[in-house]
């Protein structure tokens, strides 16, 4: 975490020695590692069906993501910031970024599953409410089905209210 905070201390001018570039890369790696830890914890929460707990780390996650995005923009604008970094540091950054992408892919898959399950549950509840609200009671005049909401003389009964508390 200390390296993540030291990123701001690295000068925004092109690095002239290996240590400045290596320090910048080490800071980015620290940010990615911490983000990976948070996302892995969130994936575990999704797996254990506790999506409501995802909000606990939002502030830190947003701060780290902003720091990471800022560093990527700075490097894109001035590739010299890390050009002089050692090959080992560059390789470590590539490996860390690849691991982070894998973690994010798994997290996205879990979110899709949770979303799908939630939507299915809401759909099932809506269908059940509709069935209870409009049960088929039998046949009326002219052998037409007669539902509970449409009485014998075409009168409409009151609707059943439905409330959904969306947590995700």
Q: Mean pLDDT, to the nearest integer, of 90-106?
A: 94
- CB contact burial 88-124 (16+ within 10 A = b; e otherwise): ebeebbeebeeebeebeeebeebbeebeeeeeeeeee
Per domain, the residue ranges of the chain are 2-133
Q: Mean pLDDT, to the nearest integer, of 29-55?
A: 88
Which range (106-110, 120-124, 137-141, 152-156) has the least confidence?
A: 152-156
Q: Mean pLDDT, to the nearest integer, of 36-60?
A: 86
Q: What percent of the chain has pLDDT over 90?
A: 30
* Angstrom distance (rounded) from CA 92 to CA 100: 12
Between 78 and 139, residue with greater pLDDT? 78
What string of H, E and C letters represents the secondary structure of the chain?
CHHHHHHHHCCCCCCCCHHHHHHHHHHHHHHHHHHHHHHHHHHHHHHCCCHHHHHHHHHHHHHHHHHHHHHHHHHHHCCHHHHCCCHHHHHHHHHHHHHHHHHHHHHHHHHHHHHHHHHHHHHHHHHHHHHHHCCEEEECHHHCEEECCECCCCCECCCCCCCCCCCC
* Angstrom distance (rounded) from CA 143 to CA 151: 14
Residue 98 has what pLDDT? 96
pTM higher than 0.75: no
Residue 81 has what pLDDT? 81
Between 80 and 13, residue with greater pLDDT? 80
Contact 44, 57 (CB under 8 A): no
What pLDDT band is residue 16 in, cutting at 50, 70 and 90?
A: very low
What pLDDT band is residue 164 in, cutting at 50, 70 and 90?
A: low
Average per-residue pLDDT for the chain: 78
């Amino acid at each position: 975490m200390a390296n993540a905070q030291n990123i701001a201390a690295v000068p925004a001018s092109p690095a002239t020695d290996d240590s400045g570039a290596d320090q910048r890369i080490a800071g980015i790696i620290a940010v990615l590692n911490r983000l990976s830890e948070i996302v892995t914890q969130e994936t575990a929460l999704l797996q254990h069906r506790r999506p409501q707990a995802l909000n606990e780390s939002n502030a830190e996650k947003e701060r780290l993501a902003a720091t990471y995005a800022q560093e990527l923009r700075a490097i894109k604008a001035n590739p010299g910031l890390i050009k002089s970094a050692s090959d080992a540091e560059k390789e470590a950054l590539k490996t860390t970024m690849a691991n982070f992408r894998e973690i994010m892919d798994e997290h996205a898959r879990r979110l899709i599953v949770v979303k799908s399950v939630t939507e299915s549950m809401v759909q099932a509840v809506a269908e059940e409410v509709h069935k209870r609200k409009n049960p088929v009671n039998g046949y009326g005049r002219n052998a037409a089905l007669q539902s509970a909401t449409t009485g014998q003389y075409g009168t409409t009964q009151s609707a059943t209210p439905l409330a959904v508390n969306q947590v995700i």
